[in-house]
């Protein structure tokens, strides 16, 4: 008999801790809605005590999702717990997730607390949280480097105080699978009343072992996996949702568990998160990378044509890649676009479809074959992102071998039309300088990359920028068949994110 494995998604919290991956409230709501459709059980929407912006985003997500649980992270202090509860309380099923470190290293140097003090604080925090809700999770930060018996003592005490989920994090990505599985078994055996709570794991990927550690823990008895889409997260990231879910699906013998994930929504969710956070998915990324189902070698192609199972362990349609990549063109109508979008896992409102259709027609005038990646970029860029401060209305650039490149931009700043000119040593430099004239913003450009979304000389270019202003760093993304326009869109997206970050600085003391 299969048991339920709860999928706890922390893309909006640990995922947002990836450098530059900050999201505004509208973007968080978009991702949360998509995660609900994907079928996750719990969304960790943020860390409400970290900033006003985080508090607001968590409360908006709590109100926006319909049925799934919404967790707010908090340290083991009354003030933090009050904030977390204040932000999640409007969710249909709210959860307070409080944490405290239990490893000798963290207790001595970071917390400067003794084992007794940590034990007391953990119990106090859970008891306090329990006044607000029955749904309380306790995380023993740096659990994998904690003394096993002390860990079990803390877990036993917090169960007695009312915790319903116990999370065992490999905070620094130090664990290896056989050791981690052994730790899970030890905790399950030596924690008093373990049957009253669910054991969860939360792994980081510093040694590239997050998924392996999570799977080993599930096989050993853990029944909640904390994951993020595309594995984004602090430093080298967290366990990738898509990897755990597809490993369990492809190798059902690993553990007798089932999840509530609709696997066909995995790829659309991956591209939405990538577009919103600006974090590019590496082409060879398992399950969701652009090359994950591409067969380059002639021998492999021949095998796949004869029987896909020769070289494909998963059916691409199972993760939401559509059967037919060559799609509609210039003459297709709105109904065809809607049906293509639905096949790709996007449910748009009539208003949203209307907007995408206009963009689609404009693109079809420039590009003959519109492929899935093109449609995805249109939807994500124009619909899935919300609440932009700056937007681009018009760009004209003059350049060539014998002239100084000059750009003319028309933009909206909070809905007000403005325009300006700029020149530069190339068309992109000129466009960026024109944007600077109009916005007055001149962040340092740390990174600029262009790639083609599809093959062909008429392919859309996808540009990613990394911009820095003082201590703030953000990523921006844009796509267009014209790479100068794509660059301007990416730069403006980077400015919008930088602006959001400056208005909602995260309290770095929180971590």
Residues that bind ligand KIV (CB under 6 A): 14, 99, 139, 141, 167, 169, 171, 202, 204
Closest approach of Cβ 458 to ligand KIV, in Å? 44
Buried residues in 447-478 as b, exposed as e (16+ CB within 10 A): eeeeebbbeeeebbbbbbbbbbbeebbbbbbb
Nearer to Zn ion, 14 or 27 (CB): 14
Which CB contacts under 8 angstroms, 24+ apart, belong to 281-289?
281/230, 285/230, 285/231, 285/240, 286/211, 286/240, 286/242, 286/243, 286/246, 287/240, 287/242, 287/243, 287/246, 287/314, 287/319, 288/230, 288/242, 288/319
Closest approach of Cβ 491 to Zn ion, in Å? 31
Site string for Zn ion, 7-46 (x = CB under 5 A): -------x--------------------------------
Paired tokens of 338: 């809607």
Site string for Zn ion, 335-354 (x = CB under 5 A): --------------------
When CB distances are held under 5 to 8 angstroms depending on the partner's kind, the choice from Zn ion, ligand KIV, none that residue 99 binds is: ligand KIV
Closest approach of Cβ 108 to ligand KIV, in Å? 17
Nearer to Zn ion, 24 or 238 (CB): 238
Nearer to ligand KIV, 163 or 373 (CB): 163
Residues 6+ positions from 157 with CB-CB distance below 8 Å: 119, 122, 123
Closest approach of Cβ 358 to ligand KIV, in Å? 42
Nearer to Zn ion, 232 or 479 (CB): 232
Nearer to ligand KIV, 171 or 460 (CB): 171
**Residue pointed to by tokens 């990324």:** 285
Closest approach of Cβ 284 to Zn ion, in Å? 24
When CB distances are held under 5 to 8 angstroms depending on the partner's kind, the choice from ligand KIV, Zn ion, none that residue 141 binds is: ligand KIV
Closest approach of Cβ 144 to ligand KIV, in Å? 9
Beta strands in 147-287 (DSSP E): 165-170, 198-203, 224-227, 257-258
Nearer to ligand KIV, 169 or 476 (CB): 169
Nearer to Zn ion, 14 or 16 (CB): 14
Closest approach of Cβ 204 to ligand KIV, in Å? 6
Paired tokens of 499: 């602006």
Nearer to Zn ion, 14 or 376 (CB): 14
The answer to whether 86 and 94 have CB atoms below 8 angstroms apart is: no
When CB distances are held under 5 to 8 angstroms depending on the partner's kind, the choice from ligand KIV, Zn ion, none that residue 385 binds is: none
Paired tokens of 194: 């373990």
Closest approach of Cβ 292 to ligand KIV, in Å? 27
Residues 6+ positions from 180 with CB-CB distance below 8 Å: 144, 170, 201, 203, 213, 216, 217
Closest approach of Cβ 169 to ligand KIV, in Å? 3
In the complex, residue closest to Zn ion by CB? 14
E strand or H helix at 175:
none
When CB distances are held under 5 to 8 angstroms depending on the partner's kind, the choice from ligand KIV, Zn ion, none that residue 269 binds is: none
When CB distances are held under 5 to 8 angstroms depending on the partner's kind, the choice from ligand KIV, Zn ion, none that residue 259 binds is: none
Closest approach of Cβ 43 to ligand KIV, in Å? 14
Closest approach of Cβ 28 to Zn ion, in Å? 18
Vertex 25: Cα angle to 22 and 29 (nearest 5): 105
Q: How far is CA 495 from the centre of its chain?
A: 20
Which CB contacts under 8 angstroms, 24+ apart, belong to 280-288?
280/449, 280/464, 281/230, 285/230, 285/231, 285/240, 286/211, 286/240, 286/242, 286/243, 286/246, 287/240, 287/242, 287/243, 287/246, 287/314, 287/319, 288/230, 288/242, 288/319
Nearer to ligand KIV, 73 or 276 (CB): 73
Nearer to Zn ion, 14 or 480 (CB): 14
Nearer to ligand KIV, 49 or 488 (CB): 49
When CB distances are held under 5 to 8 angstroms depending on the partner's kind, the choice from ligand KIV, Zn ion, none that residue 230 binds is: none
Nearest to 255 by CA among 278, 232, 225, 290: 225
Residues in contact with Zn ion, counted by CB under 5 A, come to a total of: 1
Closest approach of Cβ 17 to ligand KIV, in Å? 8
Residue 364 DSSP code:
H
Residue 216: CA count within 13 A, CB half-sphere: 18
Question: How many whole angstroms separate alpha carbon 215 and alpha carbon 210?
Answer: 9
- Phi then psi dihedrals of residue 457, to 5 deg: -75, -15
When CB distances are held under 5 to 8 angstroms depending on the partner's kind, the choice from ligand KIV, Zn ion, none that residue 477 binds is: none
Nearer to ligand KIV, 130 or 202 (CB): 202
Which CB contacts under 8 angstroms, 24+ apart, belong to 396-404?
397/427, 397/430, 397/431, 397/484, 399/426, 399/427, 399/430
Determine, following the binding rule CB under 5 A, whether residue 142 of this chain makes contact with Zn ion.
no
Site for Zn ion, rule CB under 5 A: 14
């Amino acid at each position: 008999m299969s048991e339920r494995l709860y999928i706890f998604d922390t893309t909006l919290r640990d995922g947002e801790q990836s450098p530059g991956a900050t999201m505004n409230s509208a973007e968080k709501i978009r991702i949360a809605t998509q995660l609900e459709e994907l079928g996750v059980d719990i969304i960790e929407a943020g860390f409400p005590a970290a900033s006003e912006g985080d508090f607001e985003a968590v409360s908006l997500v709590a109100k926006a999702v319909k049925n799934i649980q919404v967790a707010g992270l908090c340290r083991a202090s009354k003030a933090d717990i009050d904030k977390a509860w204040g932000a999640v309380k409007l969710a249909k099923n709210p959860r307070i997730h409080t944490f405290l470190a239990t490893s000798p290293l963290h207790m001595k140097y970071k917390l400067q607390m003794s084992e007794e003090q940590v034990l007391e604080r953990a119990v106090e925090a859970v008891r306090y949280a329990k006044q607000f809700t029955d749904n309380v999770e306790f995380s023993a930060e740096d659990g994998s480097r904690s003394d096993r018996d002390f860990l079990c003592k803390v877990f036993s005490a917090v169960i007695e105080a009312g915790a319903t989920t116990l999370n065992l994090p490999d905070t620094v990505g130090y664990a290896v699978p056989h050791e981690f599985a052994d730790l899970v078994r030890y905790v399950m055996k030596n924690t008093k009343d373990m049957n009253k709570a669910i054991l969860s794991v939360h792994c980081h990927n510093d040694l590239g072992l997050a998924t392996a550690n999570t799977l080993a823990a599930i096989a050993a008895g853990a029944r909640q996996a904390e994951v993020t889409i595309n594995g984004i997260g602090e430093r080298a990231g967290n366990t990738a949702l898509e990897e755990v879910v597809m490993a369990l699906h492809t190798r059902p013998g690993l553990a007798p568990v089932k999840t509530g994930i609709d696997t066909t929504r995995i790829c659309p969710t991956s591209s939405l998160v990538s577009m919103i956070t600006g974090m590019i998915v590496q082409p060879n990324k398992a399950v969701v990378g652009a090359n994950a189902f591409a067969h380059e070698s002639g021998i492999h192609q021949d095998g796949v044509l004869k029987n896909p199972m020769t070289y494909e362990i998963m059916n691409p349609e199972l993760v939401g890649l559509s059967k037919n990549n060559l799609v509609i063109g210039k003459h297709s109508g709105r109904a065809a676009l809607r049906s293509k979008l639905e096949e790709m896992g996007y449910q748009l409102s009539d208003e949203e479809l209307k907007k995408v259709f206009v963009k689609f027609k404009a693109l079809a005038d420039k590009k003959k074959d519109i492929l899935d990646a093109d449609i995805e970029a249109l939807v994500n860029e124009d619909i899935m992102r919300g609440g932009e401060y700056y937007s681009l209305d018009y760009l004209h650039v003059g350049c060539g071998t014998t002239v100084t490149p000059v750009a003319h931009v028309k933009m909206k700043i909070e809905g007000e039309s403005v325009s300006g000119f700029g020149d530069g040593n190339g068309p992109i430099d000129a466009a960026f300088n024109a944007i600077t004239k109009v916005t007055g913003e001149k962040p340092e450009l740390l990174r600029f990359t262009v790639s083609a979304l599809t093959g062909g000389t008429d392919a859309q270019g996808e540009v990613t920028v990394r911009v820095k202003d003082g201590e703030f760093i953000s990523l921006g993304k844009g796509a267009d068949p014209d790479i100068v326009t794509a660059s301007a869109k990416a730069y403006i997206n980077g400015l919008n994110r930088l602006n959001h970050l400056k208005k909602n600085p995260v309290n770095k003391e929180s971590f």
